[in-house]
Amino acid sequence: MRITAIVLRSLAIGVLLVLTWRVSSPQSETIWTAYETPGDLVRLVLGAGVCLWLLVHLFILPKDASAYRTWLYLGLIIVPLGLILIIAIW
């Protein structure tokens, strides 16, 4: 159960990382044109912060057995839903 929970947790955080990166990317063609509009710049900076936070939490494992059980249940819901959202957004 522990290995499955770790894998599902990593996949769930990875899916959230990809979704955050895609949604926070600038609306214009390249990343260098994000400075033209303040909304794109703010979204890019906040998205980079959230992605960094998710990346740090990817390597911090839960401490107790109930946390692994929770991630097992959440992972079974978040991973397929996140993959559907990634396909829809891309």
**Per-residue model confidence as pLDDT tens for the chain (90 residues):** 899 999 999 999 999 999 999 888 877 666 666 667 777 788 888 999 999 999 999 999 988 999 999 999 999 999 999 999 999 988
Q: Phi and psi dihedrals of 24, rounded to 5?
A: -85, -5
Q: What is the rounded distance in angstroms from the CA atom of residue 10 to the CA atom of residue 31?
A: 27
d(CA 84, CA 90): 10
The percentage of residues in the chain with a pLDDT greater than 70, rounded to a whole number, is 91
Q: Helix, strand, coil proportions of the chain in percent (round to 5)? A: 80, 0, 20
**pTM for the predicted model, two decimal places:** 0.84
42: its two tokens: 């703010």
Angle at 9 (CA atoms; ends 4, 12), nearest 5 degrees: 125
User: pLDDT tens for residues 16-38?
Assistant: 999 999 888 877 666 666 667 77
